[in-house]
Structure formats: structure tokens, C-alpha cells
Amino acid sequence: MTIPAPRHSSVPLVFTDEVATALAAGDPVVALESNVITHGLPYPDNAATARKVEDAVRAGGAVPATIGIDAGRILIGMTDGDIERFASTPGIPKVSSRDLAAVLASGKAGATTVASSLVAAELAGIPFFSSAGIGGVHRGAETTMDVSSDLIQFTRSKVAVVCAGAKKILDLGLTLEFLETHCVPVIAYESDDFPAFYCRSSGLRAPQRLDDPALIARAVDTHWALGNPGGVLITSPTRPEDAIDDQDVEAAIADALRGAEADGVRGGAVTKYVMRAVDRATEGRSARANMAVLIHTAEIGGRLAAAHARLRREDGR
């Protein structure tokens, strides 16, 4: 089903029937990135994981809308056939918000990141997005200027982002400083600390803690009612049984960063290099924890999106 984007946008959006019906009814919808399909696990495990993540959103009480790019259109929700095609087709590129216009104009396929998914979600009128872990300020950014576009997009797109914090390989202190400087609210759900992906805590306190989904929904809407242009970051740590010990991961990251430096790995390639090195060092535990974070966060995202939809109904919106 092809539906024009809101606000007279010329960007063609293609909604699945399930997502279109939910949005028309004011039911909760959670946007998801497709990068985890194309750049995560090998086929067919990547397709199976994508379906588990969508099922987790449904378990939380919302409709999943996995975002993708295909033939000059933005897919707002993927059919089972779309997921299978993206999972089994090699070479589909990762597309961030910077690259979105060029890829759409070229008519090529692309997998969305956090940043580009937020652009698409706002165009589609989806106020909630879920991801395992966001990008942030990289270690050594004071000399490399390596800062994830995720952080910039949070200041531009009116979408609430539910995640398990930022990846442990980043400079999490500077990431929180960046978010504070750019007035992006950070709300911890059921935790005092800012989590670190598959580690339950980064060792840093979260600026705010709210444990009631209804209060979080009210805070999100109030942030936008105040005239703020960007989103709200909501963090929830992974389950204790799925978490990895902070010290084990930190030692593996330090070794991997030294290896990346010695091998001349630079820019965006560093993240993949370090994540794979950490997975080897933890004998596969980090990859399994990554999958668990994806699924758990998706369920939390569904739960919070459902609370937000209830609030809007109660308020007559």
C-alpha cells in the first residue's frame, strides 16, 4: 500500500496494511531499523532475529514497523517477504540520514540506521522507535571528531527513542555531555543508571528516572508541547540474566582498540572491528547478549508506545 507522507512531502512512503491500519486507528506503532537485518547475523539467523524483534514489539502491545529503502521508496513496515529478501541479499548498504536522499534518488535498496529510521518514522507519523543501542561520541573524539549522526538526529526528529543506552565501546561520559548540551532529555526506565548496551550500567547516573509508562508518555508529549524540535531518549537496561560483566567487556574493548590502531582501522570501520573482536574475546557471549538486548528493548518500546497511545486517546487526540 502506497500512502503519501504527511505534511505534503514528495517522498513516497509504502506502508504495510498492518501499519497503515494501526496508524489510522491511533493504535501504537514502534519503528525499527533494518540495518540489524543486513549487517548483523548471517542468513537465515538475521531473518529469524528480525521476526523475533517484531514479535517482541507485539508482545509489548504495539505494531512493529521495520523501516527499509527500496526502489526509491521508504518502506514503513516490512512484509515477511521483504524481511526474507533483505536478509538473503548480499551487499545492501547501510544508509544513514546523510545518505538517505541520494539512495532514494538512485532507486537503490538500503538498510536504515537509527538516524535514518528516525527521519522515516517522523515522516510516517510514528512517535516511537526502538533500538538495542544508540551511537554516540567515540573514544578519542577530541582528536578524531568522530560523533555518531544518531546524536545529531535526536535534536531534529520528533521521535522518542527506546534503547539500552549506548554501545560500551563509546565514550559514554562524553555521549551524555553531548545530549545535555543539545537539550535531549534522557529518561531511565526502571534503573538509576545510564545502561551500556549489553552491560546493565555504564557506571554513570541517568539525569532522570521514571518507572511509570504513563508518566514517560506524558513527559514525551510535554517535551514536544514546550516547542522542542527533537526527540526524547528513554533507556532500559537489558535483563540481568542476559547481561555481560562490565570488566570483562572493558578489557576486551581496550585490547580491540589497540588492535584497530595497529591495523590502521579508521572511521566507521572501527565499530565493526571492535564489536567482532569483543565477540571473539567473550567466546560469542556478546553476540548472544546483543540479540537479547534487541528483543528486550523492542518489548519495552511496545509497552511505552502503548502507554503513549492511551494517553493521546484520553486527551482526545
* Burial bucket for residue 267 (CB in 10 Å: 0-12, 13-18, 19+): exposed
Could you confirm whether 158 is annotated as catalytic?
no
Binding residues, by number, are 94, 114, 146, 148-150
Q: What pLDDT sits at residue 3? A: 52
Q: What pLDDT sits at residue 55? A: 98
Could you confirm whether 167 is annotated as catalytic?
yes
Sequence ranges of the domains in the chain? 13-315
Q: Which CATH class is domain 13-315?
A: alpha beta
Q: pLDDT per position in the chain (317 positions), as tens?
A: 545 445 446 889 999 999 999 999 999 999 999 999 999 888 999 999 999 999 999 999 999 999 999 999 999 999 999 999 999 999 999 999 999 999 999 999 999 999 999 999 999 999 999 999 999 999 888 888 999 999 999 999 999 999 999 988 899 999 999 999 999 999 999 999 999 998 999 999 999 999 999 999 999 999 999 999 999 999 999 999 999 888 878 888 888 888 888 998 877 677 778 878 888 888 778 878 889 999 999 999 999 999 999 999 998 86
The Cα 118–Cα 120 span in angstroms is: 5
Q: What pLDDT sits at residue 4? A: 46
Q: Torsion over CA of 206, 210, 215 and 221, rounded to 10 degrees? A: 10
Binding residues for substrate, by number, are 94, 114, 148-150
Check 33, 54, 122, 299 and give the catalytic one: 33
pTM: predicted TM-score of the whole model, two decimal places:
0.93
Q: What pLDDT sits at residue 35? A: 95
How do 160-163 and 208-209 pair as beta strands? unpaired
Check 54, 167, 168, 299 and give the catalytic one: 167
